Structure 1
Amino acid sequence: MSPERQEAFEVQMAKQREALRLQEKRKVRQMANSSTTTTTTRLVKVTLLDLPTETLTHILLHLPFTSVVICGGVNRHLQVLISESAELQYYIHLGVYGMVDNPRCDFPISERLNRLLVRERRWEELDFDFEKIIDVPVVAECRRRYLSAGVFSILYESGVLRQIQIPSEADQEVEWKEIRIAPFLINSGKRLLEQDLQIFVTAQPQTVYTNTAKPHTIHEVQIHLSQLSTGEPHPDAQRTISFKTHEEFGRPWAGVECAGDNLLLVLRDDVEEHKPDDQVYAYDWKTGERKLEINAPFGSYRRLLFLTTHTFLLPNAKNGELEYWRIPQDPSETHTSDQPFFILSLPPLSSGNVFHQIFLSAKPQLASGLRAASKPFYTDTHHAIIIIEVTIQPVDGSRVTDFSFFVHRSSFMECPDAFSAFISSDERPTPVPYDNWGPSVCRWFSSSVDGYYMGLITGVFGQRYASAAMGAGPLIVFNFNPIGVTKVLVAQRRHISKAKTRDEINKNIGRDEGNQNIEENQGEEYAGKGKKILSQTSVPGISSEPLTQGPQINSSPSEPWLETKVVTRALDPLDDPDRCFEDTVYSSLPYTMRSSQDKYDFEDLFLDEERMLGTRTDGDWNLLKQLHILHYG
């Protein structure tokens, strides 16, 4: 082959190889495009409902429980999944009833759910599972009594403290324990179960001599921290907290609260001879370090309450305000403060009236430690209701009038964000007027409602408030859970709708007797205070029946109706016949109210997660004779 032909052949072969290379490249590109198109098509076809049940359940458990309920109402597949999943039902009902799960408990989810449903149904119907009467061993004058962490305590004037573990089972044995406590005790009984902590406060008088004045008496105040389980000094407390009062006290009184590592103490004089300043202290109870000191004119402070572990609410009776204070977290911050960072104003009083005292209470206290493994769930402190009792009197002291109002802790916590323009760190903040913050989140009552005293701060726990009649009468339980109110309203609408349908049928067939029966079951108006409603209340997407694997509720087919009142009136005016307030006070926090079937003659009523506890006396409030326990689970 000639060189020319050889060169032409090589050129032609090179072109063919380049063509083959380009052809292979196109094939690879086409295959890649085909693969991408197929993958994209598959991704488009995959939806949330195509996910495995376990994955979908896991996703739903990370949504707010209200969103889970909504999901169940918009899709049939999700509705079946949610209604048949014990885990999702338990999660929803924890939110509905304002509870939180205890991860330390080893009960299966189905048993936790059943226990929750059984207990809440009993509370809704006030159908206790057992009652028990316990005799008090010694009928003598007592100074104080309280229920805390399942233990009832009586502090006697003699300085003896008697305590009893309140039974959670009908056949549980009870035993009184006697504790000889330190002299000069001025407060006892703050019991924090999750921290195995009990707090006692003493104030020992000391005579002080000076060169320029006559001898006077100050007090050495000590905060004693002991273990609940052993009674010995708490191992986490590095020292006993101790300080001396700045001024002369006639009879010191102390209020104490604890949350996390922070302990708050308010100290004031119970006699008005010397009128020393009210003093508030914040400590780290483990190290004994003082974090904050507040001084205010006599009669300003008496009670305080933690909103978070570092923020607390301090009612100021002198100014008629609710003050927000912050405990310093940085050691470099000042330990003395002369102003709160945020203030809510109470309704202004009419001329000549003053706030005499302001009490407040909320239970349970803020949880900050390990929970007992035997309890599957606990009350969510974030949504607990706070009762605030205000005592008003004219400047001449001629009469005293009491009012109470209720607010969720969560509402108080949201106020600084809602009214951030009123927050101040440089000077005393301008108070937020009541009409701005209060009517939508409060519910006010006069001192008594239909013969029930409404200022019993021991009767509050979670979102419930219980009160006994003034004399023998039924017990009443208020429930400020907004979802509980919704359940009642839903049941009411369903009942009315069914009654109307049945009424139309009866009219068509001329059965007048049936109409009469329907009217009787339909309930009666309560002049703006609600209606009787069905016991079988529910919210769409939420099952209220216990699972078949667990214990069942004893139902009462012969009594299908609950005489429960629901109050949802917006801007409800407070009954103020003595014109204590300058203007009409409005409030609109909704609630339900349930009365017990039986009547009781209790002097005091205490409430906790499991039970109501009433006290009977020997004719005198100070002479405690019996404890009457109504247990709900």
Structure 2
Amino acid sequence: MSASDITPAAGFLDLPRELLVDILRYLQHDDIARCRMVCNTLNSIVYDNVSLLHRIELGVERLEERAAGRFNSLERYTRLLERRARWLTLDWSHIEPLKPREIIPQSALPYELQGGTFLNVTNRSGQVTMNKITLPGRTDTRAQYTSHGLQFRALDITADPTQDLLVLLDVAGRINLWTLSAYKAHPQAATSILRPEGASNLFVTALHVAHDLLALVEFAQTMQVTIWNWKTGRTIILGNGTSLSYLATGLAWLSPRAFVLSDASRGELVVFSLENINCVAPAGSRSFNNLPACARLQLPRIENGWHMSYFQLESTPLLASHPQDRLFVASPESHIVVFTMQYVTHNHGRTSSQYAGFVHARYLMTFLNGRAAGEPPKVVPWTQWGPENARIIAQYDPTPTFSRYVHGQKVVFSRHHHMLQRHLLSVYDFNVHPKRVEAALHAQGKVRIVRDEAALGDGEGDVAEVYVGVVDWPTVIPRNSQSGLQYHPFVEAVESSLPYIESSRVVEGGAGRSVQFMMDDERLIEFNVSTRAGPSTDSVRVYVM
């Protein structure tokens, strides 16, 4: 037989099976999945190889995996499928109580949830204390509590446990860079205090860390946005007054060199890139006048006489590396960005409903490239981007009280339930892949899937009832209308259709209690707080997946 008698396909499939497996490993997960549909031979090769199956499912989940360590391919594959099933059906492995006094945030005092570590600042009888709680997980089921006295009052905090970094904004406006483990000056920071001259009369502040960059959004007399390289101590971006042409009420990192601002003056999501500027040791800082936006994504138009009274962003923290105790973490480009907003008339006579909007970070990142130097930002009306790439819902249930209710592509809400002494725990998962939908509807474990959320109850014995449904139809908010005592101020009906999977389960709560949730990639944290006078019956529980 000559070489001309052998077809390319036949020659490829005649290669040794081990070599075919090695070749397939170089493909992306969706390409490996497509190979299974080419012929029985390739389907059999993939089906019989756990590492290839694991590669496909890891891509479907949009997760990153740290070094395999002590787990082989089969163990990682099994854990991945178990993780998927538990989250989609809220089938937690166990529940651990926490000490309410140490963990429930005090009003107006800062807190943070990062990489399995919960931090908060308390002030009791003038004693200011930083509390650090290492949360229970699958392997270590006990919480670990430590505390450290502070010599100053803290306005805000953030952290990155993977860099042993703790950032504290004190009441004088100075930014302290400490180690999370020992509360000492961080050895990688060129200076232990950013902005040593301080700032006065700070009312609203928010710190956001992303690898080597640190952003601060703050309001005193005016809004100000500052970005530093915390390692070198250099100011990268400084915008305030006339050098900040946005009413910047929130910021979310899309990558270590890209972010989105919420502009409440125009009602826009504004996307910025830092890729082409020196973010390590610039000769001087830039203002926003010298940092053109990549794109301005407009929200739905509102009637004359209304303006935004609230506009905030929430997304997943960008840790510099994978937490050591975590096998899987959410891929940054797969993060969901939540934007919440509310409107009021100029005379404050009428208030709108509060709205929650959802958009994938990867969609916002599509605007990072393609703009020529000196070209103005692309202005995108809502009708050209929102209906297909976002979802906006009116929130009639209690809106989230705490931050950190978003992680990866999941968002957790507390919702009212018709049963007394009960609440609904609802997770909206914006990774709608056919494999995941199939897994959700045919789950195993200590849960029973129900098809009607209104029929959701406590379940029987050890078997809980869980509602799972795919929301793939549009949400429509009517134009210029009223819902009870609240109004919808939009010029046109707002239709949006970004699909998601809803999973809901009944939890304890009910009248006279506020039930709120935080989340990360391994657990849900429930804050169940009494709103009535009398002896404290507050509780905090961790649902470990």
Normalised to the residue count of structure 1, the TM-score between the two structures is 0.72
Instruction: Output aligned runs, 1:151-162, within 5 Å.
Output: 151-158=117-124, 159-162=128-131
What SS does structure 2 have at the residue aligned with 1:440? helix
Residue 42 of structure 2 is matched in structure 1 by 78
- Larger mean CA deviation between 67-76 and 294-303 belongs to 294-303
Residue 404 of structure 1 is matched in structure 2 by 356
Q: Is the aligned partner of 1:574 residue 2:543?
A: no
How far apart are 1:96 and its partner, in Å?
A: 1.2
In 2, the alpha carbon distance for the partners of 1:112 and 1:266 equals 40
How far apart are 1:523 and its partner, in Å?
A: 5.1
Residue 192 of structure 2 is matched in structure 1 by 240
How far apart are 1:167 and its partner, in Å?
A: 0.8
How far apart are 1:260 and its partner, in Å?
A: 2.3
Deviation per residue, 1:510-565 (Å, 9 max, x gap): xxxxxxxxxxx995699xxxx99xxxxxxxxxxxxxxxxxxxxxxx9x98996312
In 1, the alpha carbon distance for the partners of 2:505 and 2:269 equals 35
Q: Is the aligned partner of 1:264 residue 2:182?
A: no
How far apart are 1:588 and its partner, in Å?
A: 0.8
Instruction: Output aligned runs, 1:3-14, within 5 Å.
Output: none
In 2, the alpha carbon distance for the partners of 1:362 and 1:380 equals 13
What SS does structure 2 have at the residue aligned with 1:438? helix
Q: 1:481 to 1:287 in 2, by over 3 A?
A: same
How far apart are 1:457 and its partner, in Å?
A: 4.6
How far apart are 1:452 and its partner, in Å?
A: 5.4
How far apart are 1:242 and its partner, in Å?
A: 3.1
Checking the alignment, whether the CA contact within 8 Å between 2:166 and 2:179 is kept in structure 1 is yes
In 2, the alpha carbon distance for the partners of 1:99 and 1:586 equals 30
Q: Is the aligned partner of 1:477 residue 2:430?
A: no
Residue 59 of structure 1 is matched in structure 2 by 23
Q: Is the aligned partner of 1:584 residue 2:493?
A: yes
Residue 294 (structure 1) aligned to one of 239, 251, 257: 239
Deviation per residue, 1:280-310 (Å, 9 max, x gap): 1111110101111112479912221111211
Q: Is the aligned partner of 1:609 residue 2:517?
A: no
What SS does structure 2 have at the residue aligned with 1:468? strand
Instruction: Output aligned runs, 1:349-360, within 5 Å.
Output: 349-360=302-313
How far apart are 1:45 and its partner, in Å?
A: 7.8
Residue 445 of structure 1 is matched in structure 2 by 393
In 2, the alpha carbon distance for the partners of 1:491 and 1:393 equals 40
Q: Is the aligned partner of 1:316 residue 2:220?
A: no
Residue 325 (structure 2) aligned to one of 350, 353, 374: 374
Q: Is the aligned partner of 1:626 residue 2:542?
A: no
How far apart are 1:249 and its partner, in Å?
A: 4.6
Residue 467 of structure 1 is matched in structure 2 by 413
How far apart are 1:314 and its partner, in Å?
A: 0.9
How far apart are 1:487 and its partner, in Å?
A: 4.5
Checking the alignment, whether the CA contact within 8 Å between 1:563 and 1:595 is kept in structure 2 is yes
What SS does structure 2 have at the residue aligned with 1:411? helix
Identity of aligned residues (%): 22
Q: Aligned partner of 1:444: which letter?
A: I
How far apart are 1:454 and its partner, in Å?
A: 6.6
How far apart are 1:405 and its partner, in Å?
A: 0.6
In 2, the alpha carbon distance for the partners of 1:95 and 1:180 equals 44
Q: 1:182 to 1:79 in 2, by over 3 A?
A: farther
Deviation per residue, 1:98-151 (Å, 9 max, x gap): 211112634211111111111211112111110121223468944244422212
Checking the alignment, whether the CA contact within 8 Å between 1:105 and 1:374 is kept in structure 2 is no
Q: 1:611 to 1:373 in 2, by over 3 A?
A: closer
Checking the alignment, whether the CA contact within 8 Å between 1:105 and 1:376 is kept in structure 2 is no
How far apart are 1:446 and its partner, in Å?
A: 0.3
How far apart are 1:358 and its partner, in Å?
A: 1.1
In 1, the alpha carbon distance for the partners of 2:162 and 2:63 equals 16
Residue 549 of structure 1 is matched in structure 2 by none
Q: Aligned partner of 2:425: which letter?
A: L
In 1, the alpha carbon distance for the partners of 2:98 and 2:25 equals 44
Instruction: Output aligned runs, 1:90-239, within 5 Å.
Output: 90-103=54-67, 105-137=69-101, 141-142=106-107, 143-158=109-124, 159-169=128-138, 172-188=141-157, 190-204=158-172, 221-239=173-191
In 2, the alpha carbon distance for the partners of 1:388 and 1:127 equals 28
Residue 279 of structure 1 is matched in structure 2 by 224
In 1, the alpha carbon distance for the partners of 2:530 and 2:400 equals 24
In 1, the alpha carbon distance for the partners of 2:380 and 2:325 equals 44
Residue 436 (structure 1) aligned to one of 378, 384, 388: 384
How far apart are 1:614 and its partner, in Å?
A: 0.6
Q: 1:105 to 1:391 in 2, by over 3 A?
A: farther
In 2, the alpha carbon distance for the partners of 1:108 and 1:170 equals 17
Residue 389 (structure 1) aligned to one of 340, 358, 364: 340
The structure carrying a bigger strand percent of its residues is 2
How far apart are 1:416 and its partner, in Å?
A: 4.5
In 2, the alpha carbon distance for the partners of 1:203 and 1:344 equals 35
What SS does structure 1 have at the residue aligned with 2:288? coil
Q: Is the aligned partner of 1:325 residue 2:272?
A: yes
Q: 1:136 to 1:55 in 2, by over 3 A?
A: same
Checking the alignment, whether the CA contact within 8 Å between 2:470 and 2:502 is kept in structure 1 is yes
Gaps of 5+ in 1: 1-36, 205-220, 270-275, 495-520, 533-555
Gaps of 5+ in 2: 443-448
How far apart are 1:456 and its partner, in Å?
A: 6.3
Checking the alignment, whether the CA contact within 8 Å between 1:203 and 1:252 is kept in structure 2 is no
Checking the alignment, whether the CA contact within 8 Å between 1:362 and 1:387 is kept in structure 2 is yes
In 1, the alpha carbon distance for the partners of 2:11 and 2:338 equals 48
How far apart are 1:347 and its partner, in Å?
A: 1.2
Normalised to the residue count of structure 2, the TM-score between the two structures is 0.83
In 1, the alpha carbon distance for the partners of 2:123 and 2:440 equals 51
Instruction: Output aligned runs, 1:559-570, within 5 Å.
Output: 563-570=467-474
How far apart are 1:630 and its partner, in Å?
A: 0.9
Q: 1:446 to 1:122 in 2, by over 3 A?
A: same
Q: Aligned partner of 1:263: which letter?
A: L
Checking the alignment, whether the CA contact within 8 Å between 2:222 and 2:241 is kept in structure 1 is yes
In 2, the alpha carbon distance for the partners of 1:559 and 1:140 equals 33
How far apart are 1:245 and its partner, in Å?
A: 7.9
Q: 1:174 to 1:228 in 2, by over 3 A?
A: same
How far apart are 1:476 and its partner, in Å?
A: 1.1
Checking the alignment, whether the CA contact within 8 Å between 1:323 and 1:342 is kept in structure 2 is yes
Checking the alignment, whether the CA contact within 8 Å between 1:203 and 1:222 is kept in structure 2 is yes
Residue 47 of structure 1 is matched in structure 2 by 11
Residue 366 of structure 2 is matched in structure 1 by 414
How far apart are 1:324 and its partner, in Å?
A: 2.0
Q: 1:398 to 1:260 in 2, by over 3 A?
A: same
Checking the alignment, whether the CA contact within 8 Å between 1:456 and 1:467 is kept in structure 2 is no
Q: 1:600 to 1:560 in 2, by over 3 A?
A: closer
Checking the alignment, whether the CA contact within 8 Å between 1:283 and 1:289 is kept in structure 2 is yes
Aligned-residue Cα RMSD (Å) equals 3.4
What SS does structure 2 have at the residue aligned with 1:458? coil
What SS does structure 2 have at the residue aligned with 1:89? helix
Q: Aligned partner of 1:198: which letter?
A: L
Q: 1:250 to 1:77 in 2, by over 3 A?
A: same
In 2, the alpha carbon distance for the partners of 1:569 and 1:362 equals 24
Residue 3 of structure 1 is matched in structure 2 by none
Checking the alignment, whether the CA contact within 8 Å between 1:262 and 1:283 is kept in structure 2 is yes
